[in-house]
Amino acid sequence: MGPGLYSAVPHGFQIHGNGLSKKAAGLTSENEIESFTPSGSGEILRMVYRLKRRVRNLEWFLTLAIDLNRTIDRSESINLIHRFFKVNLETDGFSLWLIAPATRKFEAVSAYGVPAKEYLSHLQASKLQPPFKLGQCPEGFHYFPELPVQAERAAGGSLLILPLMPESSGSVLGFLALFRQKKDGFITREKVLLRETSQFIALHLRKITLFHTTRELAFVDSLTQVFNRRYFDQRFAKEIGRAQRYQRAMSVLMIDIDYFKNYNDLFGHLAGDEALRQVADLLEKNLRKADVVCRYGGEEFVVILPEISAEAAGKVAEKLRQAIAAASFGGEEELPDKQLTISIGVAAFPENGKNAEEMLRRADQALYKAKQSGRNQVMVSAQQDS
């Protein structure tokens, strides 16, 4: 597929210069049609002209839809959008900006051609006041037909800003910036088509956000904000399968908060909830990014340790036990051991089991032995059998 405004160019149409030629883009005026057609045939040719333009627009959207509907992954979608514009639209500069969840600020997630700072620097220039606001553009885009070459690192030409704002939502997800070094380089029909394209992209990005938000609600424990039992069951089975396939080690920790019922009875469920949140937070802070913490139920947590042997898992478990014992919890001095602690059972693949059920049973047995041996300790399944 060659460069140009549309994803498919009908036979006999030529591409040259920036974008498509007038005839290739279907931009010959209806008055021009009458000037070279026999009397009476102008209306028929106008209809043909309109139909061809609609077909080319449909081809453009169909190409984009086929690409984007293949995925619900944000990074892959960004790459597909980048490739689509690079292949199908001649521009001297392209950049896609999305709001970063952490900072709530726009960040460039994809770009090619002239560096974005060279043409976006004009948006802060006094000659373009009042500054554009993404959510306030009745036409659906901001168009600057002639950027002045006035800043040291500012490129002159024309700039089209397209907000990514789904019609069903008033929130702006980001924007597309398209730059051509030619003055007034974007024609009206091009701007309209690109505006509709930006709305389509916005809907797709919104769909991805909703999907992952819904998925997160399904797999995250609402109280502690770590993964829940449903997620653990799926992830644990996958990690065991991966360990079997590549013949690698992995371990699982089963963790229980000692005397937690006493703590709840003494201080109430609100204090108990806060203790659960604090324990979950401490577990996450003392593990690798590759490790997975899940709330198993009640006061129990489980941790998946990919590519960690039984011996190494025992050391990780001890680190977690010490972190909880060293932390301060309100009213813990009223507990039998004068502090809030955890007990941990450890099981490893493949020596303690070759499937999820066997490994969990061995980890649970190790946890039970840690409890019976006085709590606030780590028990590794292999030690249990020796």
* Entry pTM: 0.58
Contact 286, 338 (CB under 8 A): no
- Look at 43 and 157; give whichever has higher pLDDT: 157
Domain ranges of the chain: 86-217, 229-385
Of the chain, the percentage scoring pLDDT greater than 70 comes to 82
Please write the tens of the pLDDT for every residue from 283-296.
999 999 999 999 99
Determine which helix (DSSP H) or strand (DSSP E) holds 99, and give its type and residue range: strand 93-99
CATH architecture for residues 229-385: 2-Layer Sandwich (3.30)
Per-residue pLDDT, averaged over 369-385, amounts to 85
Per-residue pLDDT, averaged over 210-234, amounts to 91
Name the average pLDDT for the chain: 83
Confidence of residue 321 (pLDDT cuts 50, 70, 90): very high
Per-residue confidence (pLDDT) for residue 155, from 0 to 100: 62
Rounded CA Rg of the chain? 31
pLDDT at 37 over 90: no
Contact 255, 300 (CB under 8 A): yes
Per-residue confidence (pLDDT) for residue 248, from 0 to 100: 94
| Alpha helical stretches, state H, the chain | 30-35, 42-68, 74-88, 116-120, 188-219, 229-246, 260-267, 269-285, 310-326, 356-372, 381-385
Q: What is the CATH number of domain 86-217?
A: 3.30.450.40
Which of the listed ranges 59-73, 158-172, 184-198, 310-324 does the model predict with the highest average pLDDT?
Answer: 310-324
